[in-house]
Chain A
Amino acid sequence: MMLETAFTPFYSLAGGALIGLAAVLLMLTTGRIMGATGILAGILQPTSLPDWSWRAVVLLGMISGPGAVLLITGQLPAVQVPVSTIMLVIGGFIVGVGVTFSSGCTSGHGVCGMARLSPRSIVATLTFMITTAITVYLIRHVIGV
């Protein structure tokens, strides 16, 4: 199923700038990479209470994001899911397996690692951008779901 979405360059530029600002502030305060995979994995497999608590609090802040947007704009951010539940489950599981092996996702490799010009992150980002595009093409235009 395809849903048209409006092109919103200014919201996207502002959103991206805030994502970057959060990454810079986390590095400035804790010296850590702002990666969703790393933060989540560290919560699931804690090494110490201080290590667990900073991740849990950052995650709590992330989850408060839509609520803050609701307070400011009067609207929750749009979440339109054009795929079936089974695709969410299989896709989610595959994402979990993939990011555990690659040690990072769009935030950790795609933003923080690329900004450090890390060769591993550049290769990781190019790889997942290509396989995502191929998957979307196959699902929408070849299989035609």
Chain B
Amino acid sequence: MRLIILYFIGLIFGVGISISGMANPARVLNFFDVAGAWDPSLAFVMGSALVVTFIGYRLVLKQPSPLMASNFQLPTRRDLDLQLIGGSAFFGIGWGMAGFCPGGALPALGTGRIEVLIFVTALISGIVVVKILKSIFSTRSLAQV
């Protein structure tokens, strides 16, 4: 039952991404191309997603706990570090090159288009390479201690 509910939550996200245009690189790139073929649609996506989430989170987080878990797992860090800013800057460069972001590309896999599969394979490679490098470096620094 729990997994069926979660499937439908994923489906709502996937339908939202699909009709919003976030799964369409041409539209995403045109949003950022103010100097060219500008299409402001994505500002409406971000705007309405933010309003709904802002209000919804306020109602939900007043509850003592989530319905299907013991507690809310919210990020607690508030510091700004190089990994956050450098990583975000890097993400933007890739987004500007390909036109897909992870949240747009994962639902777009459902269209069966080969370009989406190519992007997601490259995306997963990037994630895995960094995770492997991070684990090598953290074992090394532990070994030095």
Task: Find the B residue at minimum CB distance from A118.
Answer: B75
Q: How far is the CB of B121 from chain A (nearest CB, A)?
A: 7
Set of chain B residues within 8 Å of A7, measured between Cβ atoms = 39-41
Q: Known interface pairs A96-B126, A123-B84. Does A65 touch B14 (Cβ–Cβ under 8 Å)?
A: yes
Complex CA–CA separation, A45 to B67 (angstroms): 25
Set of chain A residues within 8 Å of B115, measured between Cβ atoms = 79, 81, 85, 88
Task: Find the B residue at minimum CB distance from A39.
Answer: B106
In the complex, per-residue mask of A83-107: 1 if CB is within 8 Å of any chain B CB, else 0: 1010111111111111111110111
Tell which of B42, B50, B123 touches A93, judged by Cβ atoms closer than 8 Å: B123
A94–B101 CB distance below 8 A: no
Give the size range of B's interface with the partner.
Answer: 35 or more
B137 proximal to A (CB < 8 A): no
Set of chain A residues within 8 Å of B93, measured between Cβ atoms = 91, 94, 98, 131-132, 135
A33–B74 CB distance below 8 A: yes
Complex CA–CA separation, A139 to B122 (angstroms): 20
Complex CA–CA separation, A129 to B34 (angstroms): 13
B66–A29 CB distance below 8 A: yes
Complex CA–CA separation, A62 to B35 (angstroms): 33
Q: Known interface pairs A61-B6, A63-B106, A141-B35. Does A5 touch B21 (Cβ–Cβ under 8 Å)?
A: yes
B60–A24 CB distance below 8 A: yes
Q: How far is the CB of B136 from chain A (nearest CB, A)?
A: 14
In the complex, per-residue mask of A1-38: 1 if CB is within 8 Å of any chain B CB, else 0: 01111111101111111111111111111111111110
Q: Known interface pairs A79-B111, A136-B29. Does A115 touch B53 (Cβ–Cβ under 8 Å)?
A: yes
Q: Label chain A's interface by main secondary structure.
A: helix
Set of chain B residues within 8 Å of A64, measured between Cβ atoms = 7, 10-11, 14, 110
Q: How far is the CB of A21 from chain B (nearest CB, A)?
A: 6
Those of B42-66 within 8 Å (CB) of chain A: 42, 44-54, 56-57, 59-61, 63, 65-66
A63–B66 CB distance below 8 A: no
A87–B116 CB distance below 8 A: no
A2–B37 CB distance below 8 A: yes
Task: Find the B residue at minimum CB distance from A116.
Answer: B57
11 A-B contact pairs sorted by A residue (CB < 8 Å): A29-B69, A33-B75, A36-B103, A54-B3, A62-B10, A68-B14, A69-B18, A80-B24, A106-B102, A113-B75, A137-B33
